[in-house]
Structures are given as C-alpha cells and as structure tokens.
Amino acid sequence: MLAAKGRLAGPGTVRAGDEEIRADAILIATGALPRVLPGAEPDGERILTWRQLYDLTEIPRDLIVVGSGVTGAEFASAYQALGSRVTLVSSRDRVLPQEDQDAASLIEDVFRRSGMTVLGRSRARAVRRDTDGVTVTLDDGRTLTGSHCLLTVGMIPRTEGCGLDAAGVKVDARGFIEVDRVSRTSVPGVYAAGDCTGVLMLASVAAMQGRIAMWHALGEAVGPLRLGHVAATIFTDPEIATVGVSQRAVTSGEVAARVLKLPLATNPRAKMAGFRDGFVKLFTSPGTGVVLGGVIVAPRASELILAVSVAMEQRLTAEQLATTFAVYPSLSGSITEAARKLMEFTPDSL
C-alpha cells in the first residue's frame, strides 16, 4: 500500500506523490462529494453537508433540511427521532419524488404525524448564517429560521485532479466517469467503480462494480452489472426497500405486470409490535406469474426485501413464493401472503 495522492499520468500510468507506477489494470474509485448551492455555501458549523453533520457534538435544536430525496428524507427522519424540530424543504410536490409513490406518500404522512414540518413545492434560494442560527430564504420570498441547516441537494463526482484528461478517460455532461456494464472506461486497462461513475450511488453497487472490474481484468468470465436486479433501501422509519420493476413503469405501460399491495396492518406480528404503517407490494408477470419485483415499507424492510430479490433472481412464480413456508408470526409472512392473494384474483380484479 502506498499512502499518497494519486492521479493518472497517461494510459497505464499512475503518479503517486513522487513515484510513477506502471500498471496493467487501474481502478478509479474516488467517490463523490455533496453538491453545493450558490448562495448556500456550507461553513461546517451551522450550514452543513451531510458529511459535516457527523462532526456535530450536539443534536441540532431546529434543523432545516433542504432537499427531500433519499439523503434528505433519511436525515430528517433520524433527527426528528433524536428530538430535533425538523423542517423538510422539498422543491417537488412530495418527498422522495423518484421513489414509489405509495411508499413516499406513506413516509410523508408519518413525517407529518411525528411533528415534522414538510414544505412541498418550496425551493431554497439562499442560506445565511446568523449569530446563533441560520435563515433560509425560499424562492417565493418566505424565510425560515433554525439553529442549523442541512443541504442535501445531490452529489458531484470527486475526480478533480485525477488526471482523467491526461489519460483520455471520458466523462459525461455532469462530470461522472463513463463506464460500461463491466466497469471499463473509454481507456483500455482503466476501470472505474462507485459514486464517481454516477451509477446508482449505493455501496452494494460500488462493491459489485469493483469486483466485476477486477474479475474482468484478471480474465475471468464475468456477467455484466444488472441494474434492474439491484435492491435498495431508504433508511427512514419505517424503511423503504425496493427491487425490480417500479410502479411508475407499470402505470405508464412500459412494463406489463399484475400488482398487489398488502397493508402491514393485517400482519399478526405487526399487530403485536404496534406497527401500523407499511405495506408489501409485489409485481408479477401477467402471463407466467414470475416475480418481477416488489416494494416493502416496514421496520427492517432492508432485511425483508431479500426474499423478493431471491424470487426475482431465480425467476420464481407467485405460486412458488406463496407455497414457501414463512415463520408465523413474522413480518416476512406478509410476503408469502401477498403472493397468495395474487393467486386468488384474476388480472381484471386487480
């Protein structure tokens, strides 16, 4: 291992400090950085990125979260639970605008019932630090005051100074490194993985990209990255986990699927634990009954989604899932119950 700042010095060459290293395979995995809004520059004390938030030594009294995507929703949920008075500013008409609408609507309802202030269709124009707090100015002229402001407005690739130009590595319009499905860049022998590629910014995807890159470089037979099979979780309370096709794709007609949504409130384990918010949603092929994906909103949905991922990966049908034993009582029982209900109804009744 060499502890140094490295950059590409040309195809097959890396300069690390004063050393120049030749390599048959180079993997770029430099990650990404929080995007900064002009007029809302972080100071690391009151105006914060999510990375700087971890350095606080006390819980913010009044936290204004700008941005209602995955990162914004997760931190808003966490700090509301920790006792902060949270205001979530969303430029869209609902939180988590890119996620399953049923799941996003449920989470927004949970947020509001917990006492969180959620401002939809409200875009932050500027953030100013005051003596002992912050003032956030919205596009419509309204102002919000709080003790701290968290900015969650996207990510930019951390590739400045990496020598991409010198090596001829292509980037897209946003500056992310272009890669194919086996992690190759435009330069032979140079691979990239993780957030610097802009491909589904998830740790699991980054790890798989890196493994695929090294397997390919070593001459192993590798399968390409299949983004449609990636399971993802949003760590709100309750959690949201998804895999496979989306409700948006089904509703638009892009994908033909039967859909069933089973409320978590019908689950005996959920009743015992007092869980009222959540559901299991399954998508299956209308012709074969093969599981195409699912959405789970529940405590530990990140664990529960594995059953749907396995069913999808192994091309199991709703019938096969329905006849699989689940522990009683368990939250996972809602997955097999949803599969049974898919078998009970004709496509027209769904």
Kindly tell me if the per-residue pLDDT of 347 is higher than 70: no
The CA distance from 77 to 48, in Å, is 17
- Asked if 68 and 95 touch (Cβ cutoff 8 Å), the reply is yes
Q: What is the pLDDT of residue 344?
A: 76
Rounded percentage of the chain residues whose pLDDT exceeds 90: 93
Task: Output the pLDDT for position 187.
Answer: 96
| Count of Cβ atoms closer than 10 Å to residue 20 Cβ | 11
* Closest to 244 measured CA to CA, from 310, 288, 335, 324: 310
Confidence of residue 346 (pLDDT cuts 50, 70, 90): very low
Comparing 347 with 218, the larger pLDDT belongs to: 218
pLDDT at 10 over 90: no
Per-residue pLDDT at 139: 95
- Cβ proximity of 107 and 96 under 8 Å: yes
Range 303-332 burial, b when 16+ CB lie within 10 A, else e: ebbebbbebbeeebbbeebbeeebeeeebb
Rounded Cα distance, 329 and 331, in Å? 7
Query: Over 90: is that where the pLDDT of 271 sits?
Result: yes
Across 10-33, average pLDDT: 93
pTM: 0.93
Secondary structure of the chain as H, E, C letters: CCCCCEEEEECCEEEECCEEEECCCEEECCCEEECCCCCCCCCCCCEEEHHHHCCCCCCCCEEEEECCCHHHHHHHHHHHHHCCEEEEECCCCCCCCCCCHHHHHHHHHHHHHCCCEEECCCCEEEEEECCCCEEEEECCCCEEEECEEEECCCEEECCCCCCHHHHCCCECCCCCECCCCCCECCCCCEEECCHHHCCCCCHHHHHHHHHHHHHHHCCCCCCCCCHHHCCEEECCCCEEEEEECCHHHHHCCCCCCEEEEEEHHHCHHHHHHCCCCCEEEEEECCCCCEEEEEEEEECCHHHHHHHHHHHHHCCCEHHHHHCCCCCCCCCCHHHHHHHHHHHHCCHHHC
For 270-292, b/e burial (b = at least 16 CB within 10 A) is: beeeebebbbbbbbbbeeebbbb
- pLDDT averaged over every residue in the chain: 95
Q: What's the pLDDT band for 131 if we cut at 50, 70, 90?
A: confident
For the ranges 16-20, 122-126, 249-253, 283-287, the lowest mean pLDDT is seen at 16-20
Question: What are the backbone dihedrals phi and psi of residue 174, each rounded to the nearest 5 degrees, phi first?
Answer: -90, -5
At residue 125, φ and ψ (nearest 5 deg) are -100, -35
Residue 345's pLDDT is 59
The whole-number average pLDDT for the span 53-60 is 95
Q: What is the pLDDT of residue 166?
A: 87
Give me the mean pLDDT over the 253-266 stretch.
97
pLDDT band (50, 70, 90) for residue 2: confident
pLDDT at residue number 14? 94
Amino acid at 47: I
Q: Please determine, for residue 349, whether its predicted confidence score (pLDDT) is greater than 50.
A: no
Nearest in space to 309 (alpha carbons), one of 323, 327, 329, 295 = 295
Given a contact cutoff of 8 angstroms between Cβ atoms, the answer to whether 42 and 52 are in contact is: yes
Q: Which residues contact 120 (CB under 8 A, 6 or more apart)?
A: 90, 92, 93, 94, 95
CA 148 to chain CA centroid, nearest Å: 24
Residue 350 has pLDDT above 60, yes or no: no
pLDDT > 80? residue 348? no
Q: Taking each helix axis from N to C terminus, what angle separates 70-82 and 101-113, rounded to the nearest 10 degrees?
A: 30
> At residue 127, does pLDDT exceed 60?
yes
Q: How many CB atoms lie within 10 A of CB 29?
A: 18
